[in-house]
Amino acid sequence: MSGYLFALTFGVLTAIWMILLLRSRHLREKYAVIWILIAVLVVVVGIWPSILAWLSRLLGVQTPLNLAFFVAALILLLLSVQASVELSKLESQNRRLAEEVAVLRTDLDELRTVQLGSQSGAGSYGSGQDRQGLQLPDWQLQDTPGQDLHSPDLRGQNLRSQDSLEEA
Amino acid sequence: MTDLVPLLIILPALNEQETLPGVLAEITTALPTAHILVVSDGSTDATAQVARCGGARVMDLPFNLGVGGAMRAGFRYAKTHGYTHVVQVDSDGQHDPALIVTLCECMNATGADIVVGARFAGVGDYRVRGPRRWAMRLLSAIISRVAHTKLVDTTSGFKLMGPRALELFAIDYPAEYLGDTVEALVIAARAGLRIEQVAVHMRPRAGGRPSHNPLKAAVFLVRAIVALLVALLRPRTRIAQDSR
């Protein structure tokens, strides 16, 4: 009986803990609900131990406690798989964000360089340099993808450069 | 052709401040009209500054994402800026930039979507032994079947990607270990892209030596097989019809 009392206390404490975590927004409902359900389950079985005995008779499990262990292990397995899935999702979102930030930062750098160049009349470093230093043919200067930033019709430019590829 | 279309050369770089200036200078000599994008993959040294001084555009990733992540960011850049052809070159000086022209010629001649610069195809004296060699053999055998073409070097980081490959890789480019080489080829082949290879010679790395530790090679073998299995199990990626 004292064993069940222990389970009862544990269940109640877990439920209170989850509610506190929820209150302070350290835990989202999505994850808290399952833990609260488990805590309630433990409390219910703690109050009426005969439920466990009845269930194990029903399922053909000889020792009721073995059923409890099995269910507990199963729940833990499912929860940790769910956590891994969520973690993978977050990781890939995190990567995407990092890539996106890097692309945007590069664009920003380029815009700044172009702006600096148009203000002072000479690009001093970075993307400005390869254009000025290497004397590219005129058409390519117009078609320079770095300047697509300013042209709203990016798709058209894209097609044009592909056409010239196929003609070649 | 290379001097008609602005070609984008992407160099994923992790702490390569020593080798990068030389590589950049070589590229500008070999292909003066190409645009260079150095993707600094969370480098902690002066890689970004060195690259800017060398006349390249620099994409600075906020933290290390691996070659796959760096390349995917590069592909996105290429796509949003309207580039149609992208070459991936290692920033450690292993690849001879003069050979980029060879890759482009192969693409012109065969109409392939991806051209891989292969190290074992008879040119040069690049050799590996033991488990690493078996792993590479196995990979090339399987991927050759998937891609319906003979590919001897599936882990090469020297590749030319055409418009259709670019379209695909901007959406779906694996970031895991070996994903950027092995898995990327599988994704491309299963999406119906044509892959060709060109024999290239590799130069010794400017810094550091490739490892011949058998334990590391065994780990490589296992990881390569895992990467390949995962790649074959994944659903196919479809590319949009209007991508051509």
Of chain B, the end-to-end C-alpha distance in Å amounts to 18
What number of helices (H) and strands (E) belong to chain A? 7, 0
Q: Which residues of A touch B82 (CB under 8 A)?
A: 145, 148, 154, 157-158, 161
User: What is residue A140's predicted lDDT score, i.e. its pLDDT?
Assistant: 39
| B1: contact with A, CB 8 A cutoff | yes
Nearest to A102 among B35, B73, B81 (CB): B73
Q: Environment class of residue B34 by beta-carbon count within 10 Å: exposed (0-12), middle (13-18) or buried (19+)?
A: buried
Low-confidence ranges of chain A (pLDDT < 50): 121-168
Do A162 and B84 make contact, defined as CB atoms within 8 angstroms? yes
Per-position DSSP letters for B173-235, written without gaps between them: ---STTIIIIIHHHHHHHTT--EEEEE---PPPSSS-----HHHHHHHHHHHHHHHHHHHHSP
**B137 in contact with chain A, both atoms CB, cutoff 8 A:** no
- Which among B69, B232, B65, B215 has a CA at the least distance from the CA of B132? B215
Contact call for A145 and B59, based on CB within 8 A: no
Is residue B37 very low, low, confident or very high in pLDDT (cuts 50, 70, 90)?
very high
Q: What is the pLDDT of residue A134?
A: 37
Q: Does any CB of chain B come closer than 8 Å to the CB of residue A163?
A: no
Taking an 8 Å cut-off on Cβ atoms, the answer to whether A145 and B6 are in contact is yes
Look at B131 and B123; give whichever has higher pLDDT.
B131
ipTM passes above 0.90: no
- Cβ neighbours for B39, distance < 8 A, ≥ 6 positions apart: A102, B10, B11, B12, B13, B59, B61, B70, B71, B73, B74
Structure-block tokens of residue B178: 């070996």
* Pairwise CA distance, residues B114 & B161, whole Å: 5
Tokens 């890097």 found at: A102
pTM score, whole prediction? 0.74
CA R_g for chain B: 17
pLDDT for position B119: 80
Q: Does the distance separating the beta carbons of A134 and B81 come in below 8 Å?
A: no
State the Cα–Cα distance between residues B234 and B236, nearest whole angstrom.
6
Given pLDDT bands bounded at 50, 70 and 90, which one contains residue B89? very high
Tell me the pLDDT of chain B averaged across its residues.
84
Distance from CA of B56 to the nearest CA of A (A): 6
Q: What percent of chain B has pLDDT over 90?
A: 39
Q: Is A100 at the interface with chain B, CB within 8 A?
A: yes
Q: Which residues of B touch A145 (CB under 8 A)?
A: 6, 8, 35, 81-83
Round to whole Å and give the CA distance between B217 and B234. 26
Instruction: Specify the pLDDT at position B113.
Output: 94
Instruction: Give residue B205's pLDDT band: very low, low, confident or very high (50, 70, 90).
Output: low
pLDDT at A131 (0 to 100): 38
Nearest by CB to A148, which of B37, B81, B85?
B81
pLDDT band at B179 (very low <50, low <70, confident <90, very high): confident
